[in-house]
Chains A and B, each alone.
Chain A
Amino acid sequence: MNEATKLAVLLGLTGKLEGSYGAGGALLPATDGILLAELADLNEAFVFDGQRKAPPGTFGTQKRVPPLGSYVEFTGKTEPRGLGLAYGASALHPEHVLMRISGHDAVVTATPGAEKIEYTPQAGPNGFASAVLGGYSRGSLWNLLAAYADWTWTIDGPGIPLNEWAIKALFTSVADAGVPAITYPAANVDPPSAANILFTIGGVATLSVKKAQFKQNRTISQRLNINAGGHGGFNIGRRNPTFTVTIEEPATATYDARTKKRTHAVEALSLQVGSVQYNRDKFTAPNAQLIDVKPSAENEVATLDLTYELQPSTLGANDEYKRTVD
């Protein structure tokens, strides 16, 4: 008789914020579900892999010592979708935990009829939210804590956008476990597709857009601590948010990308996915600076890949971009 099969196609993720960094917490499948869009393979890595120096007097090797400082890196992918009902203090966005651990402040407007949540970059240098996570993958439950994330979103043609969360967390344990019955918030709300995204740059709203991508480019580095286990968690460093969009090459009278790159013009940028209240996702960047223009092509059509750096309004401000869900 073979052993019970561990399936590579079943997955699940639960997560909640920690009261303080690395504090952990008890996860409940009934309340802490995070709906993933793709399988996330989790794998343990180590700060020190236990390898020893080459031995003297032989071309062979030496036995390793046990590794130290375990952590886990993985990318969780989600389809952005709204809550489907009014936001409020007890009705947060389905990706709220992920937005918070990727370094965003959240302002919830609970006024009836105008409910929304606005996420903006967190000032730091302290107070960054972290999460305790339970990752179900390949027939196992991975218990993780002190998780931070770096956020990327992609709209690749017409279809459902994708959020990617590059997560770094401390490893606690892994054990055999099937995926439990996880209750996901807004599980029955369909994610809006990317069509009529109302993309506007510098007041121009008529560009033909092929695809777009935002990268937060948040630095999450390891903190080694040989005085306590080898790994002291993670440190948050700088962010460098960028936005890349591919458009059909327009008439220069409409949008003169090369001149804007030459002058590093600062322009307001905005787009929106979804049109139904409580399932709308808006992205704005009031000070986008065009830094790269690359010619490309879609079949016979001339296109341009435009890369913008998203700048703050003033030195030290934390308003490079804003995600509004309403």
Chain B
Amino acid sequence: MSDSSQNAAAPVPSGLEVRHIQTRVVQRTIDGKTVDVVEPVLDEHGREIVLSSVTVPLAIEAEGAKEIAMHVAETLAYREAKASTPTSSTVPTADEGDES
């Protein structure tokens, strides 16, 4: 069985992204009490500042939450290792294509 849109040549996009954003702790007064609140840091356009982003393929998303978390952790670990060893001869994996 095929999705109707397979007659289009474009690659199948994934619809799940897991990201980390820049945050800061600010003090707010709620119900008369001063509490620490975590809030996103925004850029000059009012957008959140994304520190890392991993796009999860649909095939992995379909396997379940544990597999999603594992994929995200492995992708971030791979990127970190790659960034710290720029001359590494590690063979790139499919995960390398994820945008950050």
Taking Cβ atoms with an 8 Å cutoff, the residues of A that contact B are 16-23, 25, 31, 88-92, 100, 104-114, 122-130, 146, 170, 223, 232-236
Contacts and interface: CB of A to CB of B under 8 A. Distances in A.
6 contacts: A20-B3, A22-B1, A110-B19, A126-B8, A127-B13, A130-B3
A107 B21 CA distance: 12
A18 B5 contact: no
B1 to A, nearest CB: 3
B68 A89 contact: yes
A325 to B, nearest CB: 14
Considering residues B1, B2, B40, B48, which has the most beta carbons from chain A within 10 angstroms of its beta carbon?
A: B1
Nearest to B50: A109
B69 interface: yes
Interface stretch (B57-65, B77-85, B86-94): B57-65
A130 B38 CA distance: 35
A91 B65 contact: yes
Contact of A16 (B13, B21, B62, B72): B62
A223 B4 contact: yes
Nearest to A119: B15
B19 A114 contact: no
B6 to A, nearest CB: 7
B21 A20 contact: no
A123 to B, nearest CB: 7
B12 A129 contact: no
A91 B21 CA distance: 17
From B15, B38, B40, B61, name the one whose CB has the most chain A CB atoms within 10 angstroms: B15
B62 A19 contact: yes
A124 B62 contact: no
Contacts, number: 115
A126 B6 contact: yes
A20 B58 contact: yes
Given A20-B59, A114-B21, A127-B58, A90 B68 contact: yes
Given A20-B59, A90-B68, A124 B5 contact: yes
B12 A89 contact: no
A287 to B, nearest CB: 16
Contacts of A128: 3, 5
B3 A90 contact: no
A91 to B, nearest CB: 7
B98 to A, nearest CB: 13
A100 B15 CA distance: 8
Contact of B5 (A25, A109, A125): A125
A197 to B, nearest CB: 19
A110 B62 contact: no
A72 to B, nearest CB: 16
Interface in B8-45: 8, 10, 12-21, 23, 25, 38-40
A279 B64 CA distance: 22
Contact of A25 (B40, B58, B62): B62
A123 B38 CA distance: 31
A108 B16 contact: yes
A129 B3 CA distance: 10
